[in-house]
A and B are shown apart, each in its own frame.
Chain A
Amino acid sequence: EAQVTQNPRYLITVTGKKLTVTCSQNMNHEYMSWYRQDPGLGLRQIYYSMNVEVTDKGDVPEGYKVSRKEKRNFPLILESPSPNQTSLYFCASRTSDSRGTDTQYFGPGTRLTVL
């Protein structure tokens, strides 16, 4: 089954304790993204990656890191989480298409609470 998986699904942590949210896709997609979703603000892109070893900042990258060492995996790293990073996070993947016809597939989401 084609899917994007994320772990963990729920996480409660404390300020400053480094954490990693994993994301994996089995569709051989080149393009992967991380979004955060906050009430009234919709989905905002944090980082994206066009392919292995190619990453770029989205609209809200501050406080986050990513890496793309393998095509299927795109972990999100919070080196020193703060309460304003409490949010619902989605990983997504899609093919790269210069016409913009590619469909994004979203993971189930990770609800993060930083105390």
Chain B
Amino acid sequence: QSVLTQPPSVSGAPGQRVTISCTGSSSNIGAGYDVHWYQQLAGTAPKLLIYGNSNRPSGVPDRFSGSKSGTSASLAITGLQAEDEADYYCQSYDSSLSGWVFGGGTKLTVL
């Protein structure tokens, strides 16, 4: 059971918009800690996608965006492409555990 809760899977057709939620609690996201997102393509290491809730590292397309409100955060992907098919993970800090925590991951399928 992950500290941060994500839907196991989402799907969308090419060109569509999808969102992935990440729900936490008052000891992590709700306490004001930032949320970061990672993309993991099949058989590869995770890659930083969004940091500090809504910042994109250099090279990440602006089709990817992040937001945070209350005890939750969201990753939105617009103009879905086949190459976006991957697992996505959110990450934050939890003050009760005094450490970093990940969501359980969401598998994005492009139909």
Are A and B physically bound partners?
Answer: no
- B interface vs A, CB < 8 Å? none
